[in-house]
Amino acid sequence: MTADTTELADDYSRLDPNTIIDAVESLGFLSDARVLALNSYENRVYQVGIEDSVPLIAKFYRPHRWSDQQILEEHQFSTELAELDIPVIPPLYLKQAETGQTDSLFYFSGYRFSLYQRHGGRAPELTNLDHLYRLGKFMGRIHAVGKSRPFQHRPTLSIDSFIIRPRQYILDNNFLPDLYIPSYKAIVADILEHVESKYAQCQPDIIRLHGDCHPGNILWRDDGPHFVDFDDSRNGPAIQDLWMLLSGEPHEQEIQLREVLEGYEEFCEFNPAELNLIEALRSMRIIHYAGWLARRWNDPAFPKAFPWFNTETFWGEHILQLKEQLAALQNPPLQVYPQ
């Protein structure tokens, strides 16, 4: 890892096209000066043209979000998977001329970054049962590796980090209009009670996960899926990587999940008790997402990308969505296995 002597930048204000190109060229590449910003807000991700070669993807990490150890642990996980021919896209490991070391995390002008091969693709068709079956097979392979040992430095998906802390940040920083504060406090308290109960009943195994396996982080090509963006990888229950593949009414989700698990269980055993966590994890994600937007609201990119956030309409709809989730938490879990 080639670190310069400057402190990490506090924000992205100095990350202009020249800095991006200079960072990539510092690793021995020659850019053709074409830089295309890709759809990423937590980090900054760019396609950078390379002379006489295919473009590279440069990912600049949000300052101070992850430690170097946490980033490298994510790199090691995706590389471990790729070495087993599991279709993930790991970072490039490059030998540094000045040190002779081969690294995947680099420094330039106060920013940490990594490089990736460019892979195209489209979102998987989640109504296509064959796609779901194949996704399940690869998720089973990923989790079979994830079970071998936990992350040592990356966090664990927890009720505290996904409900309690986001709720407190929203309240402490006055994001809610006064008329919605009592309703928000009450509904989140009710959801918290139900989520804690679900976890107590299940007590899931905690394994290494992709962590954010929504369809936007899966590229479907002719040869099948490629899993990208392990930036949110963490320890957690296996169902966290599966429930975001489901949509529609409960009976539709049951059909979809049967296909996913049919493929999954060819490579990895699944604990049926975790079906009881699906709505709990969905509730946690909804609360966490609002807290994430609140925490990032001082980043100029966020008001531009999410202009609907932090309006009276948003908070009214958010509370209504949480009420719907509270009802869903009280419904029976999906029935996937024969009774």
Catalytic residues: 212, 229
Backbone angles phi, psi at 235, to 5 degrees: -80, 145
Q: DSSP secondary-structure letter at 177?
A: -
- Nearest to 159, CA basis, from 208, 201, 184, 193: 193
Query: Cα(98)–Cα(112) distance, rounded to whole angstroms?
Result: 18
Smallest CA-to-CA distance from 62 within 76, 39, 44, 47 is with: 44
DSSP alpha helix (H) spans, 109-231: 129-146, 159, 165-172, 181-202
266 three-state secondary structure: coil
- Residue 5 neighbours by CB under 8 Å, 6+ apart: none
Sign, CA torsion 84/87/90/95: positive
